[in-house]
Structure 1
Amino acid sequence: MPQISVDHSSSLAGSFDRRALGLAINRLAVETIDAKPEACKTVFRSNEEFVVGESEGPDAQVYVEFQIFPGRTPEAKAALADGVLALLAEHIAPAPGSRLFTAVNISDIDRESYRSATAAG
């Protein structure tokens, strides 16, 4: 555990290396919240539309959500969030004339109800 979701504007799809960013995020989770490397699972999802207020754009966004088991300190969660924002700035730049909005949310999963399975082929 953690389950990591990276939602991004489709306009960014070809502008950054998702695998490199995912690996960097996974390593950061290992370093900051003592996650096990094999437990870090990161998924990327492209979003067609992103609208900010009444802006005509062009705007883009990257939103990272971590779902982790409880027990990490607020300081560890803050370090993780700050680290993810720094990684996003390293890996993704806004296109000329556009704005890039980035955000991170870290939430605790209910350990009692969470289930997972792995199948091998």
Structure 2
Amino acid sequence: MPHLFIDYSDNLAGLPEQQMLTELVATVCEHPSILDELDVKARIAPAKQYVIGTGSGLRGFIHADLRLMAGRTPEVKKELSDRVAEVLRRFTPHPEGMLVQVSVEITDMDRPSYHKGRL
């Protein structure tokens, strides 16, 4: 914990995946509510099959789901969401004529059912 999942439409050519992930993890780790940088795990996956609305036109998206152990205040969640969104905006390509949606969700993980171990 935390886990950071990034999904994006595969029409965002040139998205610097590794560079963006590195920056996202650093940004999350800098927040005072994150106690151990080793706990932050991030992954990214392009969506090859997706639909955005019902209209025509060139559309794309990038979405981050930051999963945190339950118990953080709404203010802390908002701070983390804003930090992640800022990095996504900075790294996401915006091709001419394309509407690109950027979204971030903070998800609480259930503490009693979460298991983590180290080998």
Could you say whether these structures have the same fold, taking a TM-score greater than 0.5 normalized by the shorter chain as the test? Answer: yes
- What is the RMSD computed on CA atoms of the aligned residues? 1.6
Partner-residue secondary structure (3-state), 1:11: coil
- The alpha-carbon deviation at position 45 of structure 1 amounts to 1.2
Q: Which residue of 1 aligns with 2:47?
A: 47
Q: Which residue of 1 aligns with 2:58?
A: 58
Percent identity reads: 24
- Say if 2:7 and 2:62, in contact at 8 Å, map to a contact too: yes
Matches within 5 A, 1:1-121: 1-12=1-12, 14-32=13-31, 33-118=33-118
* Superposition TM-score, scaled by structure 1 size: 0.87
* Superposition TM-score, scaled by structure 2 size: 0.89
Misfit runs of 4+, over 3 Å: 116-119
Q: What amino acid is the match of 1:51?
A: V
- The alpha-carbon deviation at position 69 of structure 1 amounts to 0.6
Q: How many pairs does the alignment contain?
A: 118
- Stretches of structure 1 that go unaligned for 5 or more consecutive residues are none
- Stretches of structure 2 that go unaligned for 5 or more consecutive residues are none
- Say if 2:28 and 2:83, in contact at 8 Å, map to a contact too: no
- Structure 1 53/116 Cα, relative in aligned 2: closer, same or farther at 3 Å? same
- Say if 1:81 and 1:106, in contact at 8 Å, map to a contact too: yes
Q: What amino acid is the match of 2:22?
A: L
